Chain A
Amino acid sequence: MITPNIDEKDKRRIRDIVQDFARKHSLWVLAYGTGCGAIEIPPTMTSRYDAERFGIRGAATPRQADVLLITGYLSTKTLKRVIRTYEQMQDPKYVIGFGSCTINGGMYWDSYNTINALDRYLPVDVYINGCMPRPEAVIQGFIKLQNLIAEGKGNGADKYKENLEWYRENQKKIIHNWEMPDYNW
């Protein structure tokens, strides 16, 4: 079985330092706008705020991507597809919760259709609050993610694998037509 834990208390080896340096300087974001917060992504990526300076680039498919941006609210219909996409990505992968809706439900906190706390369904590494956050805030969120990776703390994927039953229980409680394949890592 696979046990890719990196124990933070141990001294990190040179190999991990080099790898994390490369991972932090080349973040490929899946080009997927899940909610209305996605309107702030094009200004971040283009000429004025230029996220490509930091190595952040768009990726077309989840097989090629590192970072999944949950931009804004997540309806239950979208949640099923997001979970499927998240499971198609390859380790190490990071989730950034974008906007207030991912933290506590935001503007849609009492809607029958959206979820209130993203952390119950997917392991989130960094939250960026705001409704919506300006491009400077987005870039600051990415820099926080880069610092996390450089310290060796970017292991949300491992957290997902270890607590898979808990996450699945939460997901199945809210998604009623669960017809997804079962992954075994």
Chain B
Amino acid sequence: MISITGILGITFGAALLTFLLHHLVPKLRNIVAILAIGATGYIAWQLPIDSYLLHFTVGSFDIVLGNSAYSQLFAILVAVLGLFALIYSHDFMAGKERLGYYYMNFLISLGGMYGIVYSQDLISLFFFWEIMTWSSFMLVIYCCKDAQKVGLKYFVFSAIGAYAILIALVLIYSSLGSVTFIKVFTGFSSMSFGVQLSSIILLLVGFGVKAAIMPLHVWAPAAYSRSPLAFTAVFSGALSKMGVFGIGIVLFKFTSESGYFSYVQTTLAWIGALTALLATLYAVFQTDARKLLAYSSVSQLGYIIVGLAVGTPMSITAALFLVILHGAFKAILFFATGAVYYRTGSTDMNEVTGLIRKMPFTFFSALLGIIAVSGVPPLGGFISKWLLYESLIENNNYFLIIVVFAASTAAFLYLYRFIFSFWLGQEEKEFVDVKEVPWTMKGPMVILALFTLVTGLYPGLLLAPISKAVAYLGVSGVSYETSVLFNSWGNKIDMNNVIAMITVVFVSAFIFLSIKNRKRTRYVTTKDIHTSGEIPKENENLTYKLDFYKPFERALGNLLKPSVDKIYNRIASNLEQAFDHLRYIYTGNGQTYAMYVVVFLVILILFSELIFGVKL
């Protein structure tokens, strides 16, 4: 059972089984799904590395599926996130309709992702890529009728990307005669320059659509905010990383001696940095929490692309570290938003305020998630940011680091808005009987929050598998110990000392604050604030909500006016108008079509000598 067929078989089999069970025995449906993903996660962990475990031939194409350290990293990410999302869905989706459809598509998309990471040739990559896209499209349109437009946008962009991959596949096949990874990696430099460049660009476009690089990201905010929040954690945590997986392979295994490769890398790095900055700036001004988190995902993916494109060992390590960490903390934030939605029915940040006393566990996990995204020590997000900045400085990418750092500083704005709007601020009378969410929803959040804490304290635990993955990509690793990180100039940072200092000082300050005047410290409600002697009434909510960052918006001026979305919409409407002219021929009227057939036969008979060479 420890084999790739095992993983794929269990996942797809469980998908069918849950769909049937939903109609026969609904109670078992969730348990089957969770057990299946748990089993595949275990198998993915135990699978031996560097082995080709499936190899057969279909027609004249070789289908190869195998494991490597790089694949194992992504497979475990998919397994863990999928498991937690399924546990979360147990309560989050309880009572909703068409649950068999939901679980079936969920499991099929997970199966597609497993297939992508384990594929060792381009045809199976394309096959599983399409399965993943199709099943996630089904989940995007799950909720309601007006999600269909959003799903259509997602599907069109994914189709563009998939066809780009297909064209690249055809180009490579026609040059090399085979599309297995072994042949492509070794034979890539022997292809002509034009084929090399175009296949790389097409593959980058194809993978870039999923990884939401600007300007191909326009599907992301709408799609992430419309899909059910339990799935969005997997959507942004694992599915977008499939694009990263592909980009990693393209950049580092398709080796070539020509000098153009560094230009590709520089362009990609700058695109990634600008994605990070612009998506952060868009996120600052959102009022819906899901759209804010969607833009945040796009910007974090920008960081990952920068790390990959720069290409030094430390930057690739930083990118892969951020891949894992981003899955964790984005899942926490989406789960927290889902918890708020589950209890209050709304994710609008202008409506829901002051839930900290009602949902402390959710607040604690969201707090750790926020701190991890912003990169503040001592959590794991700091490690990835540290590695990224050190690698950019060593590599003399001066201006890239400024753009990335500006994005990182502006990230504090939307992160603070997110946690302030939902949990801090004044308490609203409408939400006075909101309770904490059940343990199946709290558990994944708290566990992932503790995970970010542990990776901050012991980054070496996560750096060990990442170094093996980086070695697979052909670059040597970075030196580290369990709690100490080094850069190539010999400077280090010792997380033991950091955590020790922070803990000692924080605990002593906390003890001091709690003990001094212990009996004479009063708790007052948030209605007892300095409002110049007035007393806020019960129905007045004085939380600062609207236009939270108006000064920042004024400072930016016209920077955010141009929008890629408008360009795409304009192209689409122009195409629609152009194709409308075809209505003259393609009228939809049956009698016109009959006339066309008759005219065609007449032409055939009249000119039969010219066409067929015989006289009728």
Contact = CB atoms under 8 A, between A and B. Distances in A.
A98 B535 CA distance: 26
Given A2-B519, A2-B520, A180 B535 contact: yes
A81 interface: yes
Contact of B535 (A4, A181, A185): A181
A62 B519 contact: no
Interface stretch (B168-176, B427-435, B526-534): B526-534
A88 B519 contact: no
Contacts of B532: 81, 85
The bracket for how many chain B residues form the interface is under 10
Nearest to A81: B533
A139 to B, nearest CB: 27
Interface residues of A, number: 16
Given A2-B519, A2-B520, A88 B535 contact: no
Given A88-B528, A181-B528, A82 B535 contact: no
A2 B522 CA distance: 12
Interface in A57-81: 61-63, 80-81
Interface string A163-185: 00000000000000001110001
A32 B181 CA distance: 77
| Interface majority SS (helix, strand, loop, mixed), chain A | loop
Contacts of B530: 61-63, 88
Residue from B519, B532, B533, B535 whose CB has the most chain A CB atoms within 10 Å: B533
A179 B535 contact: yes
Interface in B516-571: 519-520, 522, 528, 530, 532-535
A185 B520 CA distance: 8
A92 to B, nearest CB: 12
Contacts of B533: 80-82, 84-85
Contacts of A80: 533
Nearest to A60: B530
A84 B519 contact: no
B542 to A, nearest CB: 15
Interface string B135-155: 000000000000000000000
Interface string B441-462: 0000000000000000000000
Nearest to A83: B533
A63 B533 CA distance: 12
B309 to A, nearest CB: 50
Contact of A81 (B519, B520, B534): B534
A80 B535 CA distance: 10
Nearest to B519: A2
Contacts of A185: 522
Nearest to B530: A61
Nearest to B533: A81
Contacts of A4: 520
Q: A61, A62, A84, A179: which has the most chain B beta carbons within 10 Å?
A: A84
Nearest to B531: A84
Nearest to A86: B533
Contacts of A61: 530
Given A62-B530, A181-B528, A84 B520 contact: no
A165 B535 CA distance: 21
Contacts of A62: 530
Most chain B CB neighbours (cut-off 10 Å) among A2, A4, A180: A2
Contacts of A180: 535
A84 B529 CA distance: 11
Contacts of B528: 88, 181
Nearest to A4: B520
A69 to B, nearest CB: 14
Nearest to A34: B533
Nearest to B525: A181
A147 to B, nearest CB: 26
Contacts of A84: 533-535
A87 B524 CA distance: 12
A63 B522 CA distance: 13
Interface string B568-604: 0000000000000000000000000000000000000
Contacts of A88: 528, 530
Interface in A23-50: none
A64 B5 CA distance: 69
20 contacts: A2-B519, A2-B520, A4-B520, A61-B530, A62-B530, A63-B530, A80-B533, A81-B532, A81-B533, A82-B533, A84-B534, A84-B535, A85-B532, A85-B533, A88-B530, A91-B520, A179-B535, A181-B528, A181-B535, A185-B522
Interface of A: 2, 4, 61-63, 80-82, 84-85, 88, 91, 179-181, 185
Question: Considering the complex of A and B, which 8 residue pairs feature the smallest CB-CB distances, nearest first?
Answer: A81-B533, A61-B530, A84-B533, A85-B533, A2-B520, A62-B530, A180-B535, A63-B530
Given A80-B533, A88-B530, A181-B528, 8 more contacts: A2-B520, A4-B520, A62-B530, A81-B534, A84-B533, A88-B528, A91-B520, A181-B535
